[in-house]
Chain A
Amino acid sequence: MKIAITGIGLVSAIGANCFETLQALLAERSGIASMRYLNSAHSDIPVGEVPYSNDQLKAMLGINEPMSRTSLLGLMAAREALQMAKWPNGQMANDFAFISGTTVGGMDLTEQHWTDYAQGKATENICLHEAGESTNLIVKHLEPFVPSPFAFIATPSTACSSALNAIMLGANLLRTGQAKQVLAGGAESLSKFHLNGFNTLMILDKQPCRPFDANRNGLNLGEGAGYLMLESEADALERGAKILGYIGGYANTCDAFHQTASSENGEGAYWAMSKALRMAKIQPDDIDYINAHGTATPNNDLSESAALKRLFGDLMPAVSSTKAFTGHTTSASGGLEAAICVLAMQHSFVPANLHWEQTAEGLVKPAVHTEHRPLRNILCNAFGFGGNESSLVISAEGVNLSENPVNSTLSTVTSVDMNEDTEINRYVSPAEARRMTPQTRRIVAAAKRAMEEADILKPDAVVCATQYGCMLQSMRFLQDMIDSGEQQLKPTPFIQSTHNTIASLIAILTGNHGYNATYSQGKHSLDCALKDIQTQLSLGLINNALVLEFDEQVDAWDNVLRLVGDQTQNIAKAYIVTK
């Protein structure tokens, strides 16, 4: 099957649609500026903000109900992609899947209303907090465009690689016949929560960021959304859709090195890129342009350069990071930048790597200005916390990717429910445990025991399902942020607050470089994780997987959830599954 891209939609600091984005890219006009809507105490930190308030976005979209900024941005980009793809245009849409990565979800509303929530007020926004719910709201307002029930909805939450992982799952669903059309990418709004979080890591530049420059001094956070409409070439041709490009190949690996830093030699990144090229059946010198992750932190750019040099050697294609235009749109970045790659392919240009001045030992030298030339194959990188490394090849000509229907049920080799704490010390040493919450210790112990009992110490995939993610650390960071007026915050709670903390921690502790994913889709999170695994088993991409079910009961959050008739519970289950 050749997987065609028949629509793209994107929104970021440089434009609310493809046309505006293209104009800004070609004019080399950055969207990094002082914050206008975020209302953070750190107003001296520049950001890549979408230049509309929430009220303006709602007016543009015709929305008059409470909605997180993540959902608004996602909806804007998703609608553009569907319109470009001329979907559904009369066809039945019963095999349609929507996969949208996010980590922030509704945190922008939660941080704004938290004090009200805690006092029992403003309850209408509480349910919007969840990552999965921000995706559901986009779906709700896509229904006029996609009238039938969606075949599948999922929210991958692997921090900054979330949207590329969404695209990979989307491609896998097509290859296994579980969807006919897929809209996949991601959405993320700025929040005070993650601006302060990145600030504790001391990696935010107070100047416009300078990817791959010798004097780069950190990243600028951005916000936005980006989606690709994917379908088989045969289906696209049959319904007369215009094909913009093809999915060539893709891969996700885990650096398994550190919660927030990349390894010096870029091990995970190297393997993600190598595997993506192998799937696309192309050689390094077939790549014409690399849209690098290129955050402009000292660590990322050096590590990514090492991986690029290892793979491409002296045949380095044009490289640029478009984050100097948009800022780092975190969970949306893979979708936004994949859509930018499609624009670059359509209009035959290499986007500039703005603000670059000089190179230094170990760094790749990027394309400083726009270069106009045809691009046949483009590599797009998105790397996330926990060493979650994803690479996607977009090609002008399609490549046949193997197909296989999902034809078997999963078999569970071992199953561990870690409700008792007695065994934890056997699996988690005091040194490992010192940053873990009690519930994190339980899930790590459960995972290690499941692997030990199955005698599979490095499963091919580690996939976590969680409704709310690491709530204890999230609540700690949120409360400290509010109490302190965004001052003197501790980095550890933020580092451990992302939904993919658990899956990456297990990969790091066990040196597992395999596929690593996390889904946060409310009560359907486990279904999403199992669907991903079953799909990959059917395609022969993996032979076994470690499945984790995690949630963490936190009083402060439970007191708020009770206002809307919900509550959390402690879950720490691990399974090893095979075909």
Chain B
Amino acid sequence: MEQLIEQLKAQIIDALNFEDMTPADIETDAPLFGEGLGLDSIDALELIMLMDREYGIKLADPKAGKAIFQSVRTMAEYIQQHRTK
């Protein structure tokens, strides 16, 4: 799990173009949207695409992302349960 979390942080930084950040800058349990990283709806679409590309998870409904993307941890937990690659 910890390895997946670290990998996911690096993938998020890359997908969302956080040029000056390192995985250590993202708190595993901090909210991704709103306060924490301050992500928006475009980022949510990018994260949905990230899960598709990297883990073979297809989300048909963008609204489903809300629960999954609460934090890096919730996202990693969802990926671990649903990944197809």
Contact = CB atoms under 8 A, between A and B. Distances in A.
Interface of A: 200-202, 258-261, 430-431, 433-435, 488-492, 495
Given A435-B42, A491-B46, 17 more contacts: A200-B49, A201-B45, A202-B45, A202-B62, A260-B41, A260-B42, A261-B41, A430-B19, A430-B20, A434-B16, A434-B18, A435-B17, A488-B49, A488-B52, A490-B15, A491-B49, A492-B42
15 contacts: A200-B45, A200-B49, A201-B45, A202-B48, A202-B62, A260-B42, A261-B41, A430-B20, A433-B19, A435-B17, A488-B53, A489-B49, A490-B15, A491-B45, A495-B42
Nearest to A260: B42
Interface string B15-47: 111111000000000000000001011100110
A430 B62 CA distance: 27
Looking at chain A's contact residues, is the secondary structure mostly helix, strand, loop, or mixed?
loop
B40 A258 contact: yes
A97 to B, nearest CB: 37
A200 B40 CA distance: 15
A260 B53 CA distance: 23
Closest 8 CB pairs of A and B: A434-B17, A491-B45, A202-B62, A488-B53, A488-B52, A490-B49, A430-B20, A261-B41
Nearest to A436: B17
Contacts of A491: 42, 45-46, 49
A135 B19 CA distance: 40
Q: Which of A201, A202, A258 has the most CB of B within 10 A?
A: A202
Interface of B: 15-20, 38, 40-42, 45-46, 48-49, 52-53, 62
A491 B53 CA distance: 13
Nearest to B40: A258
Contacts, number: 37
Contacts of B46: 490-492
A299 to B, nearest CB: 9
A81 to B, nearest CB: 38
Contacts of A495: 42
B38 A431 contact: yes
Nearest to A200: B45
Contacts of A492: 17, 42, 46
A259 B19 CA distance: 21
Contacts of B15: 490
A433 B41 CA distance: 17
A433 B21 CA distance: 13
Nearest to A201: B45
A172 B15 CA distance: 44
Contacts of A489: 49
Contacts of A488: 49, 52-53
A483 to B, nearest CB: 13
B9 to A, nearest CB: 16
Contacts of A201: 45
B62 to A, nearest CB: 5
A19 to B, nearest CB: 41
A495 B45 CA distance: 11
A212 B49 CA distance: 28
Contacts of B42: 259-260, 435, 491-492, 495
Contacts of A430: 19-20
Contacts of B17: 434-435, 492
Contacts of A434: 16-19
A329 B52 CA distance: 29
Contacts of B48: 202
A28 B59 CA distance: 34
Contacts of B18: 434
A260 B18 CA distance: 21
A146 to B, nearest CB: 43
